């Protein structure tokens, strides 16, 4: 049956709308892909820069750690043989013994300080230390509330540059929970610590807001 002019116009309008809709959908897909490619390219650019900054940071911190090791290794390494067995049941309170009296500022329980250390359990096992492969690792910076109470209380009255042995009862160490496989529950600990002047802080680079946003957009859930 032949179509009327009105019907033919209606068919053309529907066809045009369908074509426009198809083209529009295709354009949206192309635009989305284009935007995604642009975002990926920008992300890769920013991430490469961030990696470069991280590498520079690592090189600076490694250089600083080596400089400090060269300066303090001979002094601190002589205490490497000090760890030995001690009576677990005989440790009921915090005890300190100054092996070297420092010449720097006095430390208090509220002090943030930097130190090298050797820590061991009653059986003489060294569970952690700053000495490694004939050098010193980067020194440890301790702040109140971020270390065991035995450290916070044990350095009170110590002068920077000094060396002190701490005998710490379990309740001022890791208490009933212990720490990992090396420190069982209710274990007293001993440490030799050497405090040093806190070195100049090296600021660690952080990812930019744009990098974080792009990461979330591209890879976030």
**What confidence score (pLDDT) does residue 18 get?**
45
What confidence tier does 9 reach under pLDDT thresholds 50, 70, 90? very low
Residue 181 tokens read as 């496989």
Q: E strand or H helix at 34, and its extent? A: helix 5-76
Cα dihedral 141, 147, 150, 152 sign: positive
Secondary structure class of 66 (helix, strand, coil) = helix
Pairing relation of β-strands 95-100 and 163-168?
antiparallel
**What confidence score (pLDDT) does residue 19 get?**
42
DSSP secondary structure letters along 84-137: ----GGG--S-EEEEEE--SSPBP-TT--EEEEEEEE-TT--EEEESEETTEEP
**What confidence score (pLDDT) does residue 194 get?**
98
**What confidence score (pLDDT) does residue 28 get?**
46
Look up the pTM and report it.
0.78
Residue 47 has pLDDT above 80, yes or no: yes
Mean pLDDT (the chain, rounded): 87
Per-residue pLDDT reduced to its tens digit, 208-217: 999 899 898 8
User: 100: which strand partners?
Assistant: 163
Question: Are 160 and 193 within 8 A, CB to CB?
Answer: no
**What confidence score (pLDDT) does residue 17 get?**
41
- Select the CATH number that applies to the domain covering 1-198 from these four: 3.50.50.60, 3.40.50.10860, 3.10.50.40, 3.40.640.10: 3.10.50.40
Show me where the domains of the chain are located: 1-198
Q: Is 38 left (phi over 0), alpha (psi -120 to 50) or beta?
A: alpha
Mean pLDDT, residues 131-142: 96
Per-residue pLDDT reduced to its tens digit, 158-167: 999 999 999 9
Residue 32 has pLDDT above 60, yes or no: no
Q: CB burial class (10 A; 0-12, 13-18, 19+) of residue 130?
A: buried
């Amino acid at each position: 049956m032949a179509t009327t002019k009105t019907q033919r116009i209606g068919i053309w309008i529907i066809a045009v709308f369908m074509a426009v809709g198809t083209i529009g959908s295709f354009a949206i897909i192309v635009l989305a892909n284009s935007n995604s490619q642009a975002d990926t390219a920008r992300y890769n650019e920013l991430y490469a820069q961030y990696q470069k900054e991280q590498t520079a940071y690592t090189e600076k911190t490694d250089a600083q750690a080596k400089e400090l090791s060269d300066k303090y290794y001979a002094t601190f390494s002589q205490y490497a043989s000090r760890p030995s067995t001690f009576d677990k049941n005989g440790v009921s309170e915090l005890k300190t013994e100054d092996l070297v009296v420092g010449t720097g500022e006095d430390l208090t329980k509220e002090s943030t300080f930097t130190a090298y250390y050797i820590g061991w359990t009653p059986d003489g096992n060294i569970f952690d230390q700053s000495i490694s492969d004939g050098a010193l690792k980067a020194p440890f910076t301790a702040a109140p509330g971020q270390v065991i109470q035995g450290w916070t209380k044990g350095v009170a009255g110590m002068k920077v540059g000094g060396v002190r042995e701490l005998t710490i009862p379990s309740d001022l160490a890791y208490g009933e929970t212990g720490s990992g496989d090396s420190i069982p529950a209710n274990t007293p600990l001993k440490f030799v610590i050497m405090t040093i002047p806190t070195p100049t802080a090296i600021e660690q680079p952080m990812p930019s807001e744009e990098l974080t946003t792009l990461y979330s957009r591209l890879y976030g859930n």
